[in-house]
Amino acid sequence: MTATHDATVLPGRPPVVDHATWLAARDDLLVREKAHTREGDAIAAARRRLPMVELDGSTPVAGPNGPVPFTDLFQGRDELLVYKHMWHDGAPFEGQCAGCTVPAWHMRDAVYLNARGVSFAVLTEGPWDEVAPYLEFMGYAQPWYSVRGLDEPIGGEMGHITCFLRDGDRTFLTYDTTGRGTEQLSGSFALLDLTVYGRGEAWQDTPDGWPEGHHPCWYWCSDAEGASGWGPASRPAPQWTRPGATPVDPAAGHTHHH
């Protein structure tokens, strides 16, 4: 099945060409991709040169064994990366933040960070008595801590990646990002960007006549039938993989019991 003509047009899809023509176009794009990689390296180099802010590492945070000093999160390592997970007090499991579920689910294992000397933890404003059963339901094994009532940089605004450095008894804030900066934790975004239809969101730049995109983040939630969307019977998509996750009945009201 080798096309010998210049292009065959299929509605809503890329033109069909022979392999040599495709390879030439791929090579052209590779030049831009390599430039993008090198610029990312340069930005990372600048990031390493940011100043840092000292903080009180003895500040207590609440975990499964009660309050511990923040420095315990380093687990004896010199570096710590945290994700700050939003929390909706009193909400059922399906009502917890779908956006924060994305990085938390992707980062269920930090073994490669640990091997490099970087510890990982999730911080949340939720009260521990609500957080604990949620972690059990989700099957999360990474360290979680409640930072309820704490100011930045340990607490404060959620939905952030924050990096810390320890130097003996001293603790420092080195980096913080939010918004699309947190996509670094979620490999699925970069993989979807490799596919022909990308994330399927309306903001994307796609050729005329291609499928219209949906609202941002439309596939982060789905219903019991697997239909993506944020309808009243939906829950964050990974929750459907959890034992005991039952269909959501909006008319019956939410419940923690699944």
- At 249 the pLDDT is 86
Q: Is the pLDDT of residue 1 over 50?
A: no
Q: What is the pLDDT of residues 173-208, one digit of tens each?
A: 999 999 999 999 999 999 999 999 999 999 999 999
pLDDT of residue 84: 98
pLDDT of residue 256: 42
Q: What pLDDT was estimated at residue 99? A: 96
d(CA 247, CA 245): 7
Percent of the chain with pLDDT over 90: 91
The tens digit of pLDDT for each residue in 54-85 reads 999 999 999 999 999 999 999 999 999 999 99
Residue 253 has what pLDDT?
57
- CA R_g for the chain: 22
**Any idea where the domains of the chain sit in the sequence?**
22-51, 53-184
Tokens representing 54?
A: 């000292």
Rounded CA-CA distance 249/92 in Å is: 12
CATH class entry, domain 53-184: alpha beta
Tokens of 231: 């309808």
What local confidence, expressed as pLDDT, does residue 10 receive? 82
Written as six digits, the tokens of 64 are: 């499964």
3 or 159, higher pLDDT? 159
